[in-house]
Amino acid sequence: MTAVRLRTVALVAVPVFAIGGFVLDMASPLGIADWVWYFIPLLLLVYVGGRLLPILLAAVLSLLMLAGFFLSPPGIDPHLAMLSRLMGVSVMWVMAFVIWQRKRAEAELLLSKQRLALHVEQTPLAVIQWDSDFNVQEWNPAAEKVFGYTREEAVGRHYGFIVPDSARPQADAVGRDLMNRRGGQRFTNENITKDGKIITCEWFSTTLVDPTGKIIGVASLVQDITERRLAERQLAETLDFNQKIISDASAGILVYKASGQCVLANEAAARTVSGTVPQLLSQDFRQLESWRASGMLRVAEEALATGKPQQYETHFVSTFGKDIWLVGHFTSFVQGNEPHLLFIFNDIIGRKQAEEHVREQAALLDKAQDAIFVLDSDDRIIYWNKSAERIYGWTAAEAIGKTAVELLFKGVITSQLAKTIKTLNERGE
């Protein structure tokens, strides 16, 4: 008999037995156990829904039981009969309370099952229930989406239909561990979909046991992490690429938190200041006297405060005692909701020394008594010393940019001769 039919039969039987018991009570002389008949309809409520129904029926049956005392023919001593019926009423209310508690527990269990079923249906995780032989028993919509099989196609099949041959040894080992009750298992392996596509899934599996402790199956939660793994690999490759660029860069690169702590330093930065990468990582730019004395601290704070890149050229002695002349670029950025400072710099002391050498040579040329001027490849004057100004009368500003022919030999050398001289100069003759 189905549960619905049983509930219908019980619902019809309750009033029949209640009325029948009352009629039987009135037709029988007073006795010790006349009230027992009233318990039959109350017990039938176990199969009928409604949490308050046992309380209501107990109240009705109590009234019928007491009415039967007054309407039944004489029998045993009335005092003894009344005491017996009062005891019966008490027992009936205890039974009604027990049935009410059971119905409340059943209702809460049903609600919990409904919530769980709704969660299983709507969760983005694939939920799969297996029997003890790892045949599919339950297969939710998310599992259909992940593996491509409908519930009808999956239920009853062994787990091998979603495991490629390459991953079978690992899956078998996990199954053995679960059956040996070694706790829940979390693992990642390759799976195969209905259309033959290989995907990577993360599995969370645990054994299911009955009240006697016997293993009756396994429940698994599955998440397709194929795209996440691909993104992780791409991110790792990007980070490796960026790290290689930073490590191999000829420019010094330092990254600081806005609070001052150094969080990144490359080898070029360490070489420039005659330190090591670990030494630079242990520094706080806000505590460095060399930054404060050279003005770099002020420029760094301005970059952090305004968010605008700053360029600065300075000459100072590093914390490690090296004389440095550098040009640096300060840029602020945000990482992990925390402001940071990027400092990229080049040591330009070689350039500064070359510029100083040029200035010294220029000073020597200016002191020469002979007129000295320098021509470029187009025979245009690019240098004109003081003696040339004195001898020829043109200032450096007037001479630079003009050709020697038009400035010094105008009217003396014909245009054809000038072209011939230029051709000889180009040939180096």
Verify that 76 and 34 share a domain, yes or no. yes
**399-421 residue pLDDT tens:** 888 887 777 666 555 555 556 55
Verify that 112 and 131 share a domain, yes or no. no
Query: For residue 235, is it within any domain?
Result: no
Is residue 26 predicted with pLDDT exceeding 70? Answer: yes
Query: For residue 49, is it within any domain?
Result: yes
What is the number of alpha carbons within 13 Å of residue 289 lying toward its C-beta? Answer: 4
Last residue of a domain, one of 195, 229, 263: 229
Last residue of a domain, one of 229, 261, 286: 229
Average pLDDT estimate for 50-70: 83
Helix axes 53-71, 78-122, angle to 10 degrees: 170
Verify that 106 and 135 share a domain, yes or no. no
Query: For residue 157, is it within any domain?
Result: yes
For the record, the structure tokens of 194 come out as: 């209905």
Structural domain count of the chain: 4
Question: What dihedral angle (degrees, nearest 10) is formed by the CA atoms of 161, 165, 169, 172?
Answer: 10
Query: For residue 189, is it within any domain?
Result: yes
Q: Which of 242, 146, 150 is nearest to 199 (CA)?
A: 146
Verify that 109 and 128 share a domain, yes or no. no
Q: Which of 410, 402, 394, 409 is nearest to 374 (CA)?
A: 402
Verify that 315 and 373 share a domain, yes or no. no
**188-243 residue pLDDT tens:** 889 999 999 999 999 998 888 888 888 888 989 999 999 998 888 888 888 788 88
Query: For residue 156, is it within any domain?
Result: yes
Query: For residue 361, is it within any domain?
Result: no
Read off the pTM.
0.47
| 57 band by pLDDT with thresholds 50, 70 and 90 | confident
Question: CATH number of the domain that 277 lies in?
Answer: 3.30.450.20
Task: Please report which helix (H) or strand (E) contains residue 8, including its range.
Answer: helix 3-27
> What is the predicted pLDDT for the residue at 415?
57
Provide the residue range defining the domain that includes 403.
368-427
Verify that 340 and 396 share a domain, yes or no. no
Last residue of a domain, one of 321, 351, 381: 351
